[in-house]
Chain A
């Protein structure tokens, strides 16, 4: 069948302003939107730029806005858009480098800001550290994050609060805070206890809707808020 695509095109080094260009692609209902973009680039217009790699929702390269929703182009199928035009745009709130390619360096530094690695002062045992399945379960959902930035691109707060690190960075903070092997829980909680951190979130829930890995992002942020309050009231 024929699918109509309207794609955001912009090279800030050359163009005065973005334009939308139209393409007609023949595609099967089970094909991915990414397959359509590839067909456009391979067969019609090699100047189109976007990122992609694994093609099945693991590497996190192809986060973009498809008909108004942030998603991975490799996880959305043609049949989800039958009968409508497909409008493809870069992730909102990110600086466009070219077409659908955005600058993710700031996003990654946001994640890095909360030191997303295990910190433990005790010398490790000769074997593995012990961790019960219940303790491990606390991070089961957040370890699915693939840093695709769909949550951050969807969050309305990003438009209002320039300081906000965004939901993905908090998911990474959550991951270390609730890892029973990490030493720095209190310090880490203090780090997210700010307007830059958890208190910027006002429960729009857009991140949770967008997350291609079905991480309950908003719930995680609220859990962090509760954990901060618990410690504040002295009843951890």
Chain B
């Protein structure tokens, strides 16, 4: 069968099970776009390539499938860089396809030529430059295989225009992919499984640190069983939220810089840390020298380079978390650790008093209140996609997920502007989900143009802007560590209602807590995307907070009662 390179691209995408491509056309990808009409794949036209890379990422995180983004050469491809780096840091499987100038011009500074494989080399799991039509099929097949296997991540395929145009005799080849070196399927020796079980059986004050690896391995059920059997309290990383139901009595909550005090204290007091699919990010450990000094550490991760990277461990097991837990669990003896679990619960009750939810309603609108209400009025079942900043931390603290894969956020890179496009991608991947994007006034404006994509595509996402008139998270640091020198953090925003309306969408404003419920209800009942401008307390801060250079349990706590700082507006 005669096929052009461009047709082969689409054919291969179909074979990989792709139903949606997030893209933006241009000169170097014209042949691919020309061939699109004959293939049953939905193309979503974004407004900026950063946005559509985040869409592919959001799609991937919501579905567990590979997300696909497409851009032209040069500026199209370089616009993707932030989105690719975001996916790389959080191990999100996406495949980016970029057009490249014709092969004979590569390296001659041709019009819109950028060395895209060079630029993206450090932020992709792997990338390819394709110069001939014959290479397209094997390359795309490998790209998907690499993106989704082992520790997932972004893969970029840069395809020269002449390779897209060229016609060849072609047939799909589905022989299994084999690499000489790449080994995504490592397994620990049986001896190590036994050692792991022994460590767990001997522990008196064990704590599980559950990360995104638990979710990616599909190990949430097993984790719950395991924790229950051995009675081990579970702390979650930001990206591990959902790995264990928030309402489960053994779930402690989030750890780390803005984690709950009792979780960090439990970690510092533990005699065994079970790190499951998490990578001891510096936001998680605080100062490494004083991190969980009394604890032995057992680390399970699919990526050998993560073991002993940030925190030295006593035992490291390389492999898929679910597979390993399946083997360890039967060897673990039922235990009760009653004293330890009670001890943590006591701390939790004491700390709860400082919790903003329990404070009297002062008439001011606080973002934590809004998020807590959103959690209640969506019955905890929304697919929540956050942007980056204070509202992100409050979302982690106050939207308590019982379900896995219902919280999407940029953790490792902390990319402002991620929320809205990732939310659009997530909704497209998971149409039955009630998607809520929670963003700050700053981050929302970074990729606000994607509202237009949501409007054109008729994608129903609800956007809750926590509008505090500041780049809140940076302001908080200025308040705590720079004498309240609010340099370049006050931000004047446009009228978000009008912005929504300009797109033919609905905009709402909420200034008091009593209006929150009605606004959420209205958003649910309205067709099309809805933007709600929540005018929240301007100078509230995220607590607790572990400042840099101190041990994890030396947190700055919420002053109680709250110091009122709001300028009414």
Q: Do A and B bind each other?
A: no
Query: B interface vs A, CB < 8 Å?
Result: none
Query: A interface vs B, CB < 8 Å?
Result: none
